[in-house]
Structure formats: C-alpha cells, structure tokens
Amino acid sequence: MKEIEEKVRLLVEPDILKFGYEIHDIQYLKDGSNWILRFFVDNLARNINLDQCGEVSQQIGNILDEHENFITNPYSLEVSSPGLDRLLKKEADFVWALNKTLKVKYTNEENKTETVEAKLEKVENGLIDLRFDKNKTLQIKIDTISSARRVMIFSEIMPKESKEVKENNT
C-alpha cells in the first residue's frame, strides 16, 4: 500500500503545489470491504478550509481519472485538513509546531523506545530541541522519531485576542 501512496503522491503533488496546497499525508487503506484513498492537505499560506478541500478533491479526482488504471481496486477519495493534532513527519511539520507542546515517541541511542512530552524549542538540520523546564532540554534526530503529535493545551490553541478579552472581562 505504501507503494501506491508514493506513486499517487508523485502523480498529483506537482499540480497540487501549483495551486498553493501541500500534501501532508496520503493513506491508501481498506475499511471493511471498501478501499479508501485519503489525502491530508494544507494551504501553504494559511490553514485550509472546507471549500478548499473540495477544490483539491476535484483536482485530485481529475488527475486520477486521467490515469484510471493506476489503482485497480474501486476506492473512495477523501480529502481533509491534517488538523491541529496532525502527525509530524518532516522537518517542515516540526517547524509548523515550533513553540508548541509535543508528544514524541523516538528510539534513543541505546536503541530503546522512549516517549516524552515537552515544548518544541528549535528545529534545525534534521534535529529538534525539546524543553521540559528551564534547565532540562533534549535533542532528538527527526529520523529516530516514530511518532510525534501536538498536545492540545488550551493556552496554546486560544488566539491571543481571545485571551486578552477574557482577561479584561474578569
């Protein structure tokens, strides 16, 4: 299935990028007896909205229809935003999450799996720096990370203007 996901990415990504969108992830999976081709896309300039997901779905559908023998099983096409709790894979994904709290599962130097939760402080040259408190930091190679997601902390999600309004009303 990964092979199909990569072939589909190579086929559709150039056109999607031209329209100002990026493919965050592609999943080709079986759900019961049905196949699903799922795209998680984002707008390069700002968060993607529902209408834009519809536009991207139409573009992807047209491209795949032109290559109808590309995927042999009948499938449903789904296009959505990766969401705030998106899986972070590439260095650019981590840049997006800079100064946010993450939950990171990685393989340490002793080849053991560890899971940590800390604030992402720096992303550079394939490395991330996480801060636990004033005195404790950890540097991890991105290629040793098996999963990383943003942890939803209300104060990090709530827009600054909303915080100011709330504080002024109390």
CA atoms within 13 A on the CB side of 129: 10
What digits encode the pLDDT tens for the residues 127-163?
A: 999 998 888 999 999 999 999 999 987 666 666 555 4
Q: How far apart are the C-alpha atoms of 147 and 93, rounded to whole Å?
A: 12
Indicate if 72 and 7 belong to the same structural domain: yes
Residue among 129, 103, 107 nearest 116 (CA): 103
Indicate if 62 and 6 belong to the same structural domain: yes
pLDDT of residue 169: 52
pLDDT of residue 140: 96
In-domain check, residue 20: yes
| Residue range of the domain that includes 66 | 2-80
Domain boundary among 80, 114, 142: 80
Give the CATH number for residue 137.
2.30.30.180
Burial 79-102 (b: 16+ CB within 10 A, else e): bebbeeebebeeeebbebbeebbb
In-domain check, residue 163: no
Q: How far apart are the C-alpha atoms of 148 and 103, rounded to whole Å?
A: 6
45 versus 16: which is more confidently predicted? 16
Count Cβ atoms below 10 Å from residue 144 Cβ, excluding itself: 17
Contact status, residue 24 vs residue 42, Cβ threshold 8 Å: yes
